[in-house]
A = this chain, B = another copy of it.
Amino acid sequence: MELTHIEHIGIAVKNLDDSIKYYENVLGLKCYAVEEVKDQKVKTAFFMIGQTKIELLESTEPDGPVGKFIEKKGEGIHHIAFAASNLKDTLKEVEAKGVQLIDKEPRRGAEGLNIAFLHPKSTYGVLTELCEKPAKSDE
């Protein structure tokens, strides 16, 4: 397994437009994409800083995972995503080492990446995403 960099940091926000303004006007970052991910019940906004993206997440439904997170913990950092090579094998490897997987198989996430989540119960409280760019033949 090889993790190369932090692909993105997911941040749960109540209002996407207000928080985009903060990241642009105060921190000086530039929102380059807004995308809805229906199966996660979120609307997302992306900013690039160095190798890493900031992904703001606004829940589109109160019962979505981000809506529940905000209800329980308030707005704030939701997950870290590591860029992994060979995601399928990496998932098998971490599962064999005792980590509980939320996604047993990679699925398609925002920006067309293949993604899978590890359960925070087995990662010392950190909701952890692994992701990789799909091979050209998958696109």
A residues neighboring B (CB under 8 Å): 1-6, 9, 11-14, 18-19, 22, 25-29, 49-52, 73-77, 79-80, 82-83, 94, 97-99, 120, 123-127
Give the distance to chain B from A78, nearest Cβ to Cβ, in Å. 8
Number of copies of this chain in the oligomer? 2
28 inter-chain pairs at a CB distance below 8 angstroms, sorted by A residue, are A1-B28, A2-B28, A3-B29, A4-B50, A5-B49, A5-B51, A5-B52, A6-B49, A6-B52, A9-B9, A9-B80, A12-B125, A13-B124, A19-B124, A25-B97, A26-B99, A27-B82, A27-B94, A50-B51, A50-B52, A51-B51, A51-B52, A73-B73, A75-B124, A76-B126, A76-B127, A77-B77, A77-B79
**Interchain CB contact (< 8 A) of A52 among B22, B52, B79, B99:** B52
Q: B50–A5 contact, CB under 8 A?
A: yes
Q: How far is the CA of A18 from the CA of B120 in the complex (A)?
A: 15
- Which B residues lie within 8 Å of A82 (CB)? 27, 49
